[in-house]
Amino acid sequence: MLGEGELSKGLTIRAAKFSASARDKISAAGGSIDELPGKVNWTRGRHNAAVKALAEKGLDWKKEAAKKKAAQKAAKVGRK
């Protein structure tokens, strides 16, 4: 979110990143920001660590991945 333009009302803005001027203008108007987490890039090391952590809990990583994908799909359908 870039800080160009003016904000006359206090709003809650959700975005991945905010410039310093955008933060200042949103705060000055009485609004708030909700910074969303950025995308985490896949790496083999991170994948192997996640698989190991699931295995230690007695969970199958393929089933857990399928559950996560189904939840994301359901959330996407709910937004439309």
The predicted-structure confidence for 40-53, as pLDDT tens digits, reads as follows 889 999 999 999 99
Calculate the average pLDDT of the chain.
88
Look at residue 12 and tell me if it is in a domain.
no
Mean pLDDT of 19-41: 89
Helix or strand or coil: residue 40?
Answer: coil
Instruction: Give the number of other CB atoms < 10 A from CB of residue 3.
Output: 15
User: How many domains does one find in the chain?
Assistant: 1
CB 3 within 8 A of CB 27: no
Task: Note down the domain range covering 61.
Answer: 44-79
pLDDT at 80 over 80: no
Look at residue 63 and tell me if it is in a domain.
yes
Look at residue 52 and tell me if it is in a domain.
yes
Look at residue 7 and tell me if it is in a domain.
no
Look at residue 75 and tell me if it is in a domain.
yes
Q: Which two tokens stand for residue 47?
A: 């994948």
Is the pLDDT higher at 39 or at 41? 41
Look at residue 58 and tell me if it is in a domain.
yes
Question: What confidence category does residue 66 fall into, taking pLDDT thresholds of 50, 70 and 90?
Answer: very high
CA end-to-end span of the chain, whole Å?
23
Look at residue 39 and tell me if it is in a domain.
no
